């Protein structure tokens, strides 16, 4: 995955190709993993749908990998909350 390009195409859970836009990437000291947060600009309950996955920033593994633990989800949610607070300040 090339995170320098803000758009990428991937298959959704139904196997359909969809275009996504990368919102941001970050590395976690706690989990020692790299994360990508992205969207397809669709809305759910009036808010833009946002997705997150683990990715290999070395580029050796091209597929996005699932977030496997509650700790990882908490890390992402904390990062998103901090980002949202900074935006609103």
pLDDT of residue 1: 53
pLDDT at 19 over 90: yes
> What sign does the CA torsion over 59, 63, 65, 66 have?
positive
Q: Of the ranges 11-15, 27-31, 35-39, which one carries the lowest mean pLDDT score?
A: 11-15
Residue partners of 42: CB distance under 8 A and separation at least 6: 48, 49
Confidence of residue 53 (pLDDT cuts 50, 70, 90): very high
Confidence of residue 69 (pLDDT cuts 50, 70, 90): very high
Tokens at residue 7, please?
Answer: 């758009």
The residues spanned by each domain of the chain are 7-88
């Amino acid at each position: 995955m090339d995170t320098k390009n803000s758009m990428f195409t991937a298959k959704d859970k139904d196997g359909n190709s969809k275009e996504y836009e990368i919102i941001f990437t970050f590395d976690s000291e706690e989990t020692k993993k790299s994360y990508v947060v992205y969207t397809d600009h669709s809305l759910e309950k009036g808010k833009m749908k946002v997705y997150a996955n683990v990715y290999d920033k070395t580029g050796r593994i091209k597929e996005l990998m699932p977030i496997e633990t509650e700790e990882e989800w908490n890390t992402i949610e904390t990062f998103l909350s901090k980002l949202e607070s900074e935006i609103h300040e």
